[in-house]
Amino acid sequence: MLGIVRQKMLGQSLLKIRPAISVLRSYSSAAKQMTVREALNSALDEEMSADPKVFLMGEEVGEYQGAYKISKGLLEKYGPERVLDTPITEAGFAGIGVGAAYYGLKPVVEFMTFNFSMQAIDHIINSAAKSNYMSAGQMSVPIVFRGPNGAAAGVGAQHSQCYASWYASCPGLKVLSPYSSEDARGLLKAAIRDPDPVVFLENELLYGESFPVSDEVLDSSFCLPIGKAKIERKGKDVTITAFSKMVGYALKAAEILEKEGIDAEVINLRSIRPLDRSTINASVRKTNRLITVEEGFPQHGVGAEICASVVEESFAYLDAPVERIAGADVPMPYAANLERMAVPQVEDIVRAAKRACYRAVPLAAAA
């Protein structure tokens, strides 16, 4: 009912010029810029210097300075005993990390991309995630599995899958996915300090992007809570949830929508497991429309879980069906134009938002 009223109001305010709201990022007076790469590097550096039990293990993390230069400078600083270049043995070194974590060390296991984690997924799920439960609390596993996740540019089907929904369906794991430098720093520090196994999904294309960071973020004890989403942009017409690179796209879509009179609220999930259902539901109860955005495959994805959660808890508040935007239901193609079609783009988000607000033609052919 409320939705219909709002629809009419929206129609009337179509041409009304909205006051400029710069909610994308509030700039503090002395905003320093930091790339996600620097954020991750500094977080690792600080955690390793604070706790001698933290060590980094993975392919090319040492002498090569990290396959994506995330661990630059760490080998010189901490030596080869704490920054270990491993052979190409994901199953082996993931298991070694778990064994070390059983005995109180805090390994950070880097996968060159999360696609390679499939070779080690037995250890992530069976020996890390399930151990605390199987041993009734005797063996906790304070390990972090990190690496780039999702599509990069032109790397083909076997290097482009998003693993958020795979890991997030498993109890015993915490799954985090940062977007900005602040997220990267805060969540990685929280993950390393956490006594449970954490899967930390970064994004290769975000490594080089710069974000402003406040002094609080630069403090060495800065830490973000696991399980809380962040409302990146407040709005009242439609809720858009996203994580990792898609947050940037959602924010751009929100800017475009703002010009057309739709005030979108963008939620950066940050934590895929535990999912911040209360923030999402509170937002949906406010806006009554939901769009979930993710890069991964649509079936059984993160959006599916969010949709189910909202339907269970806030069904009466929904004024439109939940729109799920996900990657195309195909293995990632190589050709640049096909790849662009296989990953959500800003226009897709805008179109979906308009559909959810009953303002555009029905959806075009889906893949």
89-128: contacts with another protein (CB under 8 A): 89, 91-105, 122-123, 126-127
What would you report as the CA-atom Rg of the chain, rounded to the nearest whole angstrom? 21
> What is the number of residues in the chain?
367
Report whether the peptide linkage leading into residue 274 is cis, meaning its omega lies within 30 degrees of zero.
Answer: yes
Strands 290-293 and 106-110: unpaired
Query: Does 214 contact another protein by CB under 8 A?
Result: yes
Contacting residue, 37, 159, 193, 289, with another protein by CB under 8 A: 193
CB of 204 to another protein, least distance (A): 23
171 binds another protein (CB under 8 A): yes
**Smallest separation (angstroms) from another protein to the CB of 201:** 16
314 binds another protein, rule: CB under 8 A: no
Is there binding between residue 326 and another protein (CB under 8 A)? Answer: no
Residue 207 or 211: which CB sits closer to another protein?
211
φ, ψ of residue 323 in degrees (nearest 5) = -95, 125
Find the part of the chain contacting another protein (CB under 8 A) among 63-71, 151-159, 207-215, 315-323: 207-215
- When the beta carbons of 199 and 350 are compared against another protein, the nearer one is 199
Only segment of 9-17, 178-186, 243-251, 353-361 that touches another protein (CB under 8 A): 178-186
* Cβ neighbour number for residue 112 with a 10 Å cutoff: 19
Residue 3 or 99 with smaller CB distance to another protein: 99
Span from 1-9, 130-138, 234-242, 302-310 in contact with another protein (CB under 8 A): 130-138
Q: Which is nearer to another protein, 194 or 339 (CB)?
A: 194
Give the full edge-to-edge strand order of the sheet including 198-202: 83-85, 54-58, 106-110, 144-148, 198-202, 174-176, 271-273
132 binds another protein (CB under 8 A): yes
Q: How far is the CB of 1 from another protein (least distance, A)?
A: 30
Tell whether residue 221 is a contact of another protein (CB under 8 A): yes
Does 152 help bind another protein (rule: CB under 8 A)?
Answer: no
Shortest Å distance, C-beta 50 to another protein: 10
Q: Which residues within the stretch 233-252 sit at the binding site for another protein (CB under 8 A)?
A: none
- 19 lines the binding site for another protein (CB under 8 A): no
| 20-59 residues near another protein, rule: CB under 8 A | 25-26, 28, 52-53, 55
Active-site residue set: 90, 159
| Minimum distance of another protein from residue 92's CB (angstroms) | 3
Of 39, 124, 175, 213, which one interacts with another protein (CB under 8 A)? Answer: 213
Q: Strand 174-176 and strand 198-202: pairing? A: parallel
Query: Is 7 a residue that touches another protein (CB under 8 A)?
Result: no
Q: Residues near 45 by Cβ (< 8 Å), separated by ≥ 6?
A: 73, 74, 77
**Interacting residue with another protein among 71, 86, 161, 281 (CB under 8 A):** 86
* Range 284-287, long-range pairs (CB < 8 A, 24+ positions): 284/239, 284/310, 284/314, 284/317, 284/318, 285/314, 285/317, 286/236, 286/239, 287/235, 287/236, 287/237, 287/238, 287/239
Nearer to another protein, 76 or 216 (CB): 216
Contact, 245 vs 203, CB < 8 A?
Answer: yes
The number of residues that bind another protein (CB under 8 A) is 71
Is 18 an interacting residue with respect to another protein (CB under 8 A)? no
Q: Is 324 in the site for another protein (CB under 8 A)?
A: no
